Amino acid sequence: MSESRKEKVCDGEGAVTSTRGACAPQIEISRPLGELDWIPRPRLLALRRLGIETVEDLLTHFPRRHEDRHQFPHFPREESDVPICLCGEVVKTSVRRFGGWKKIFEATLEESSPNALSEPLVCRWFNLHYVQKMIATGQRLVVFGKPRLRGKRICMDHPEFEVIENDEEISIHFRRITPIYPATEGLSQRVLRSIIYRLLNEVSGAPLEKLLPTDLATGERCHAIRAIHFPESWEARDAAREHLVLSEFFAMQMLIASRRSDSSIRMGDSHCGPGTLLDKFLEALPFELTGAQSKVIAEIRRDLAARHPMNRLLQGDVGSGKTVVAIAAMLLAVEAGYQAAFMAPTQTLAEQHYDVLRRWLEPLGVRLALRTAARQEDNAPLPLFARGEIPGSARVSRVGDGVAPSRTFLDVEPADSAFYSRRRLPHFEKPWAIYAVTISTKSRRCLSPNARTIVLDAFRHFHDKRYELFAVCVMPDHVHLLIQPWPKENDDAGNVVFWPLSGLIHSIKSFSTHKINRVERKSGTLWEKERFDRYVRSDRDLEEKFHYILRNPWETGVAGQNEDYPWLWTQNNEARNQRLFRRDAETNTRDACATQAGAGDGAPHIIIGTHALLYEKVSFSNLGLVVIDEQHKFGVAQRARLTAREPAPDVLVMTATPIPRTLTMTVYGDLDVSVIDEMPRNRGKVITAVRDVSKLGEVLSFLRGQLETGRQLYVIYPLIDESEKLDVKAASAEYELWRERLHPYRCELLHGRIPAAEKQNTMERFRRGETNALISTTVIEVGVDVPNATVMLVENAERFGLAQLHQLRGRIGRGQHKSYCILLTSEQSRETSAKLAVLERTNNGFEVAEADWDLRGPGDLLGTAQSGLPALKIGNLKTDAGLMRRTRAAAMSIFQADPRLELPENQRFRRLIVEQQGRTFSNIS
Ligand code: ADP
Ligand code: MG
């Protein structure tokens, strides 16, 4: 921005003028807007709805777009796809009814200086009663929208509009490039614009501290802020926007760079052995590594050998051979005397990795262990329970009928206890939380000993299956428990879903009610709504609650001091008695294997597991390397939890979801990136074809042909069963149909609601080739590896996202045979065709990702929320990619020269990081 322009922006005609000189402080930008007495109170509420509380919030409430209101174009006589901005006088208004109570409000506008050829413009609003109240004949309106030909009239439906009032403020709203803001009810454009205009006049430059290094952008932030709201020219608007985007990106990149720097200055150990074990492994492999694999292994090896912790992202398309790379890395760590952890997002994947690794590594003498939520190899009790003495446990049971209801329930009712409705259970926000729950009986109905036993058994029933129960105490008129729901398996998109606490409790309640009523020949409800006291936040918290529950019968006098109380249960009792619920045969075999492997000389070398590895129960003795497979399913916070240990382990995260480079810079910006961009040579080609459902007959005969030659087939459906309301064919319903269609070939059904053990058996039979076709939802999405399965039919392909289809397609093309992916669709819209055509065109994951981004924006491409980065207010990750690159380079070089931001000129940047991260600098300086 040139000097002269700067002057103009600040003081020039038509721009915001600052009456008191350029940069004298008047208002603190952190000041709450409520302290400015000129903003009407009702407006404050409306502003708050937009998340605007302080002066700074309002100054950075950036316009969504601008309108050139110097001069309005003539009214159009054609329709257009581009919205235009017009100004005219309302000459007529009318309301028409349609469909009973619905209304259309029409306002007819005429140009201010019409000529013979001028056509009026009809603005229409459907069912917006408030619009009708705002517009009257004789007013002048500015409207913005797409003109459409409706019959003979030119109409604009639901245009944005603004009533021009002939007041002195006209200079704010007209004869300039006018900002249009994201607005809200109770706050019109005009009002919001006036408030911002006045605010800009009251604040002057000083508090708007400059937060960009000079080599990144010149100019002052205060000028940019002014110019983005009320620009002098389009060029000034663009320059201001660039400045603001740069500062926004720069702040983000500084945060990322600080995270990187945090980990690079933490001292770790070198976790790299000499490589003899790795060589043995590579020799035993039935294939040669691809060039890309070797390159990546070398990169990782360098990182492992370095003293500072590795933080590396490995991107590689499905089937590119990331697992081998992970194994290589882990072997290097193991050989150096460390343990390695291998985390997968789902139970199935973890078990698959476990099998693969056992096949390859057991011959090399590497000890392996599997730890998932559903399967703990060695069920050692928590230290907490090992040490705590259970009150009353040595005493003799003597509790009979007629015991007075205890008072404890009232006693434990803390005034501030949270009361969660079914929909607001904290569980959904906090996976792996442990809850303290109290349930009381309805009208304090007293539970007989028999009934108490039923309740206790009901709670124990799903222990170790759907949840972990730490303690339960069934008192005469209420129940206390400490419970931690477990993952229920992956859903059809492969995400981990937990058993909902409300559902668990609900089923226990209805089961016990039913049973007790039957036994006691009574009817009616038994339970009150449960009370979720809280979730347990710390070990101490847990310990307190635990002991509170265990002491309850004695403290309340329900049990005498020398009596036992039999309706009290903890994990210790269970360990003492024989296990109540047998594990399935397969688990036992696995346990045996693992135990054998783990027996001998102690701790396992490699621990494979799911998110459960994040959970403190798994103790590593000497963790040197963590490999996280399918990174996009883990959040940054989860990753941090595992890697925050001291001393810091090396971390390798792997993803099969390639993302555009710009996004890599942000979402994974704190990681070094390695890419496997080459497929193993022995792969058959994958041919993808989109077919309309009408061609199903031909498709079927093709499929049968493939089955005849001995190949196997996946048929993928978007949904599980027809209880889903959408009109989509569902796997379970269509399963029978497919069995007929493919007769005499064998089909099996697979979906997320099939119990885990059964699912696994089904998968196993498919893997062994005993079944020819798998009719499945997307549960097979991630990581499943059956080389002989070379054909995939996706039904209702339009319902899947591109990334997901690409993932699915990665299940085939894993052997040397040519593979076919057929995308069946009944939809012919332009978007669908464009989307599916991408897959026909390319097999390259990065190209798919870029195309996906083009087609639908970064929205759900990956949970940006997961990245823990602040939301963007003005920048656009896609269109401003170039600016992102510049800020990244700048931030990196600052941290490279000054990793702790100690230099005086870098002090001001500390604020950026502290603000965004909400953390102090204690861990840096
Ligand atoms: P992904 O990258 O999807 O995790 P995997 O590691 O599961 O891929 O590898 C897919 C399959 O390819 C596995 O069966 C693996 O054994 C095999 N594979 C890996 N590397 C090679 C290679 N260099 N040559 C041939 N096959 C390989
Ligand atoms: Mg994999």
pLDDT in tens, 162-176: 888 766 667 788 778
Given a contact cutoff of 8 angstroms between Cβ atoms, the answer to whether 87 and 173 are in contact is no
- DSSP, res 721: -
Beta bridge partners, 674, equal 314
840 — pLDDT class (breaks 50, 70, 90):
very high
Measured by CA distance, the residue closest to atom 5 of ligand 1 is 321
**Pick from 35-39, 140-144, 423-427, 811-815: least confident:** 423-427
Residue 727 has pLDDT above 60, yes or no: no
* CA neighbor of 801 nearest in space, from 513, 493, 433: 493
The pLDDT score that the predictor gives to residue 165 is 74
The pLDDT tens digits of the residues spanning 612-634 come to: 666 545 567 788 999 988 765 55
Distance CA 618, CA 609 (A): 10
Q: How far is the CA of 656 from the centre of ligand 1 (A)?
A: 12
Q: pLDDT (tens digit, 9 = 90+) per residue, 759-817?
A: 778 888 998 999 999 988 776 645 567 889 999 999 889 888 888 888 888 888 888 88
Alpha carbon nearest to ligand 1 atom 19, residue? 321
Ligand 1 atom closest to the CA of 810, numbered from 1: 3
User: Which pLDDT belongs to residue 521?
Assistant: 84
Which of 287, 808, 809, 843 for mutating ligand 1's site (highest number of atoms within 8 Å of CB)? 287
CA atoms within 13 A on the CB side of 269: 16
Residue 279 has pLDDT above 50, yes or no: yes
Q: Is the dihedral of CA 788, 790, 796, 797 positive or negative?
A: positive
More confident residue, 753 or 280: 280
The owner of tokens 């660039």 is 242
The whole-number average pLDDT for the span 235-243 is 94
> Does residue 431 have a cis bond before it (omega within 30 degrees)?
no
Residue 634's pLDDT is 58
Which ligand has an atom closest to residue 296 CA?
A: 1
CA distance 35 to 152: 54
* Residue 756 half-sphere exposure toward CB, CA atoms < 13 A: 21
Cβ(52)–Cβ(236) below 8 Å: no
Choice between 867 and 128, residue whose per-residue pLDDT is larger = 128
Predicted local confidence at residue 168, as pLDDT = 60
**Residue 912: in which H helix or E strand, if any?**
helix 907-917
Q: Ligand nearest 322 Cα, by number?
A: 1
Mean of per-residue pLDDT scores for the chain: 76
Name the band, by pLDDT with cuts 50, 70 and 90, for residue 576: very low
Tell me how far apart the alpha carbons of residues 908 and 178 are, in angstroms, rounded to a whole number.
Answer: 33
pLDDT at 921: 36
Grade residue 396 by pLDDT with cuts at 50, 70 and 90.
Answer: very low
* 585 band by pLDDT with thresholds 50, 70 and 90: very low
d(CA 529, CA 441): 9
pLDDT score at 537: 59
Atom of ligand 1 nearest to the CA of 629: 4
Residues with CB under 6 A from ligand 1: 287-290, 293, 316, 318-324, 656, 680, 682, 785, 814
Look at ligand 1, atom 14, and give the residue with the nearest C-alpha.
Answer: 785
Phi-psi region of 275 (alpha: psi -120 to 50; beta: other; left: phi over 0): left
Q: Which of 676, 659, 661 is nearest to 888 (CA)?
A: 661
- Residue 111 tokens read as 């140009």
Q: How far apart are CA 745 and CA 441, in angstroms?
A: 55
Task: Take atom 16 of ligand 1 and give the residue whose Cα is closest.
Answer: 321
Q: Which residue spans within 574-678 are E strands per DSSP?
A: 606-609, 623-628, 650-655, 672-676
> Are 494 and 781 within 8 A, CB to CB?
yes
**Ligand 1: centre distance to CA 772 (Å):** 23
Cis-peptide, bond into residue 647, ω within 30° of zero = yes
Going from the Cα of 320 to the center of ligand 2, the distance in angstroms, rounded, reads: 8
Q: Which atom of ligand 1 is nearest to the CA of 324?
A: 6
Query: Quick one: what percent of the chain has pLDDT higher than 70?
Result: 74
Query: What is the CA 72 to chain-centroid distance, rounded?
Result: 45
* Stretch among 221-235, 560-574, 678-692 having the lowest mean pLDDT: 560-574
Token pair for 609: 């597991």
Strand partners, 686: 819
Are 801 and 852 contacting, i.e. CB atoms less than 8 angstroms apart? yes
pLDDT band for 538, please (50, 70, 90 cuts). Answer: low
Which ligand is nearest to the Cα of residue 321, counting in written order? 1
What tokens appear for 572 in the block?
Answer: 């210790």
Q: Which two tokens stand for residue 188?
A: 């019109």
- Neighbouring CB atoms inside 10 A of 727's CB total 7
Read off the DSSP letter of residue 21.
-
Q: Which residue's CA is the nearest one to ligand 1's atom 18?
A: 321
The pLDDT of residue 61 is 92
Residue closest to 362 by CA, chosen among 388, 327, 336: 327
What the block records as the tokens of 96 is: 């028409």
Structure tokens of 680? 């193993």
Distance CA 268, CA 112 (A): 74
Provide the 3-class DSSP secondary structure of residue 146. coil
* Exposure class string for 402-424: b at 16+ Cβ within 10 A, else e: ebebbebbeebeeeeeeebeeee
How confident is the model at residue 42, as a pLDDT? Answer: 87
| pLDDT in the model for residue 333 | 95
Nearest ligand 1 atom, CA 356: 16
For atom 26 of ligand 1, the residue with the nearest CA is: 680
Closest atom of ligand 1 to CA, residue 326: 6
DSSP type of residue 648: B
Distance CA 763, CA 61 (A): 53
d(CA 108, CA 114): 14
Q: Which ligand is nearest to the CA of 786?
A: 1
Structure tokens at 867: 């990245």
pLDDT digits (tens, 9 = 90+) for 455-514: 988 888 887 677 878 789 999 889 998 887 776 665 554 455 677 788 888 888 888 888
Q: Across the chain, which distance is largest between two alpha carbons, in Å?
A: 105
Look at residue 743 and tell me whether its pLDDT is greater than 70: yes
Among 293-297, 557-561, 588-592, whose mean pLDDT is lowest?
A: 588-592
Contact 809, 845 (CB under 8 A): no
If you take atom 13 of ligand 1, which residue's CA is the nearest one? Answer: 321
- pLDDT attached to residue 545: 80
Tens-digit pLDDT profile for residues 27-64: 777 888 988 888 988 889 889 888 899 888 899 999 98
Of the candidates 213, 57, 363, the one whose C-alpha atom is nearest the C-alpha of residue 887 is 213
Task: Check if the beta carbon of residue 471 is closer than 8 Å to that of residue 459.
Answer: no
Least Cα distance to 236 among 285, 177, 308, 322 occurs for 177
Number of the ligand closest to the Cα of 683: 1
Pocket probe mutation, ligand 1, options 352, 655, 785, max atoms within 8 Å of Cβ: 785
| pLDDT score, position 2 | 40
Q: Which amino acid is at 402?
A: G
